[in-house]
Structure 1
Amino acid sequence: MNYDNLPLYFLLAGYPEKFENMVQQEESFGSIFHYDYIDALTDEEVSSFFESLFNQEGYEIKKEALNYMVKYSSGLPLLMQQIGDSIFWECETTFIDENIAINGIFKAADEIGNKQIKPVLSQIQSENYEPLLEKLVELELSSFKRSELIKIMKNTSENVIKNFLYKMVDLGIFEQVGHKNSGLYKFSNTLYYMYFLIKKFKKDQMR
């Protein structure tokens, strides 16, 4: 370590909140490490990943099935890996159709939910919160204004919505955007949004 020009590079990878937690614990962390945001993969990159992954194992993916896999991966490597793994074990032949893809997506969401999301959601006590989350993903609102949510959920009291937003921020599922009183919120992690979107899709399929 005494070498003047040591060719050493440290790369710490994780979700944005991990960086923020490190800064809160040690302020100098923010100046020592440069923060860089890595975009999600494009649909083309996700499609190429699945085709390459399954083709090399001798599997054929129907176009409609691939579309589902790309859509519900949302460019997130964690979802891509879990969806691919779930579909692999779901498939009893070497042909992946829509039903196999959809069932694999549902199982992937359950797997990720059990490991990473349900431990957080278990802290939610109110049964009023799930319809609010489902409504947001139904309208494809990954970010929204508090006034917008009140208008959408006109049969839900403002007090319930206020408590809902407070609890979601406290659990780290939502984060406020802009200044404290901006009234603008968003899902803090795309993984949360996609989880609820898949759960909503599953409910629709079962009707």
Structure 2
Amino acid sequence: MKSWGLLLVAALALSGSYAVDRNNFKTCDQSGFCKRLRGFKPEKSEYSLNLDTVLVHGNVLSAEVDTVDTTAQERKVLWHYAMRLSALVDGTFRVEIDEVDPLYPRYRTQLALDGEPKADGLKLLSNENGKLTLMNSQGHKVVIRATPLKIEFLNKAGDVAVVLNDNAQLVVEPLRVKKERIDDEDGNAVEVVSPLLCLYCFCDWILKCRQVFVFSALTAT
């Protein structure tokens, strides 16, 4: 009798699964976000930091970052980005990546913050062999490898606490212009261009709006 009860439960579960209306859900081909990123191959393009553009002022490091097509015979830059790394007093760092010349300003997080984050000191210790080493006033270090772009956050003991873009999966999708189809006065379908914010990031962890990363630099005990 018990076995019959289990079979009945299994049958009901299977019938419920087959009863799902798939028309209520998009397929990957119907979603621009999924369709573009599903075929993304990390080995085709990589993010590279231009060491000649590095500037440290106050608590901020700024530099240019390019995406390079590694499959081309000659070095081909796909997109230009501006990167900012800020040191904050609570032992955290903020990394912002945005286009050098975006179609229009992206969403800003200031309205969601309880006041402006307080700045900490940031010092450039070395810039050699394609690698930058920085340190805040509390002794937490940041190691930035230029090509491919990789950022390591170290605690006071020198151990790696957090790694950004460890396996080259970072994608900062540039703003695009969306083509929409509408009907003209004669009822014919025509294409019109309208701006569309396309901000999608496929990375090793969830990214916030405007690609703002806040990492806690773990304090050594």
Normalised to the residue count of structure 2, the TM-score between the two structures is 0.21
Q: Which has the higher strand share?
A: 2
